[in-house]
Amino acid sequence: MKVEEYLQFNIATNKEIQLACNLTQRQVGLQLKKLERRVIKITNGRSPRYALTAPKFGVGDSILIWEIDNFGKPTCIARLRPLAVDGFFIEGHQNMPKVFLGEAGNGLFDDLPFFLADMAPKGFLGKKIAEQLARIDNTFPAHLKDWKNEHIGRYLLANTDNSIGNLKFGNNATLNLHPGRAQHNRSDYIALADGIMDNEEILSSAGGEHQKFTTFCKDIHAHVIVKFSPKGSEANARRWKDILITEHYAAQAINSTGFVTAAETHIFEDGGRLFLESKRFDRSGENGRRSMLSLEVIDAEFVGNGSDWIDSCYRLYQQKLLSMQDYVNVEFLSVFALFIGNTDTHLGNISFSMHRDMFSLLPIYDMCSMGFAPRSNGEVTPLKFRWPVEVRVKHVGVKSVRHCAEQFWSALVKESLISDEFREFISESVIPSIQDV
């Protein structure tokens, strides 16, 4: 058997290839040489292994990955080499963070590397993107859950400005001149929200299940992610308004600590909807980008089965991938979530940037009292909240978190945009239940 045929289905050492193909070491070496750039050599400790590349995403077997700095300047940091055996290999350039070589440290991935996987469409906007692409190109499934790596790769190549974080994918990604990028005033938000709900408007991708859009806000000259409530004053719409407002007050309370940070938010009501605008911390000015990776993909690569923020981040800390200070701040945020009724602290709701070869905690987002949210069938359940009586964390002072949560509740109850029902509930049931923990 020829070496090329064998490598279609195997990643193997020279010796393994010799045995399988009935060739001498020299013959294997010669055939590998003939395959030139189509063969990659994987070295980590043991004898080198060889893999064969395969063209993917309609653009070949060597695709550039760029990092964009705060000023919009791109630097090529790596090359993605899709493999015939179905995995991927990352050929790192000089400036690439070491963690981009993956957990094994050799650049080999069974699936799309975690930092590209995080750029894929997700959630509410992702579903809309899938529906729209299916209308344009019938090789795209209409349901996001049916997307394979092939669809993610092709989407990323065509939409280099859309993703969360500071990476761009594609050999021509830097030739994009940013023509006519969407820019809006806050007074346009109501029309944008209506357009999104009517499936007319798709701006850019961001995860999460809540209805939202992204744009560049001219009023504050910044990229923003804007979540909005259902229209009107029905019980369901009122409850979502209350929840969006809690996110703004949680961010304010967190930012007042001086050591843990949250995204900068702004709330206002217009046309029967409540808008929660969050200034994007993975963008800088019009064209600058900042690194951002969700704990969901970091955990999948480096931990595997982190059950919650604390568990997953502690294991990153043990691997020297996270500083002690950041770990303590994660404890703070986890406990704060308990004190404000945030039941939605999944691994996608906390993100990190790359700082040298470690992860560094980014401002928190989506920190809101989700425990009060209407059920997925729209049912609005009575407000219920139990002040935590025991909190098990080792490194953070629970008193400081409790103090921050008290600030949150006492500022929130004074906000005129919350519903009467919520105000009464906070002043009659939550504030009197505050106690030492």
Ligand X SMILES: Nc1ncnc2c1ncn2[C@@H]1O[C@H](COP(=O)(O)OP(=O)(O)O)[C@@H](O)[C@H]1O
Residue from 82, 208, 230, 306 binding ligand X (CB under 6 A): 208
Q: Which residue has the tokens 């579903």?
A: 127
Residue type at 310 in one-letter notation: I
Identify what 155 binds: ligand X, Mg ion, none; CB under 5 to 8 Å per kind.
none
For tokens 């000015």, name the residue: 285
Residues 163-182 touching ligand X, rule: CB under 6 A, are 164
Distance CA 298, CA 373 (A): 28
Residue 131, interface with ligand X (CB under 6 A)?
A: no
Which of 349, 359, 369, 405 contacts Mg ion by CB under 5 A?
Answer: 349
Site for Mg ion in 192-221 (CB under 5 A): 208
* DSSP assignments along 107-143, one per residue: SEESSS-HHHHTTS--HHHHHHHHHHHHHH-TTS-SS
Q: Which residues 6+ apart lie within 8 Å of 59 measured at CB? A: 157, 170, 171
In the region spanning residues 399 to 418, those forming contacts with ligand X, defined by CB under 6 A, are none
Residue identified by tokens 């996270």 is 322
Asked if 296 is part of the footprint of ligand X (rule: CB under 6 A), the reply reads no
Task: Answer yes or no whether residue 349 interacts with ligand X by CB under 6 A.
Answer: yes
Rounded to a whole number of angstroms, the CA Rg of the chain reads: 24
Stretch that binds Mg ion, among 81-89, 334-342, 366-374, 410-418 (CB under 5 A): 366-374
CB of 74 to ligand X, least distance (A): 20
Q: Restricting to residues 14-53, which ones interact with ligand X according to CB under 6 A?
A: none
Among 300, 348, 361, 418, binds ligand X (CB under 6 A): 348
**279: which residues sit within 8 A by CB, 6+ positions away?**
220, 222, 223, 224, 263, 264, 265, 266
Tell the smallest beta-carbon distance from residue 182 to Mg ion (Å).
Answer: 22
In the complex, minimum distance from the CB of residue 318 to ligand X, in angstroms, rounded to a whole number: 25
Strands (E), 163-258: 167-169, 183-184, 212-217, 222-228
- Return the residue of 51, 274, 366, 422 that touches ligand X, per CB under 6 A: 366
Helix, strand, coil shares, percent, the chain, to 5: 40, 20, 45
Q: Select the span of 20-28, 46-54, 310-318, 346-354 touching ligand X (CB under 6 A).
A: 346-354
Closest separation in Å from C-beta 87 to Mg ion: 29
Which strands sit side by side in the sheet containing 167-169, from one edge to the other? 108-109, 88-92, 74-82, 63-68, 167-169
From the list 42-50, 198-206, 364-372, 429-437, the region that binds Mg ion by CB under 5 A is 364-372
Q: Which is nearer to Mg ion, 364 or 430 (CB)?
A: 364
Sheet order of strands, 293-294 included = 293-294, 351-355, 358-361
Contact positions toward Mg ion, by CB under 5 A?
Answer: 208, 349, 366
Contact positions toward ligand X, by CB under 6 A?
Answer: 123, 164, 206-210, 212, 225, 227, 263, 278-282, 294, 348-349, 351, 365-366
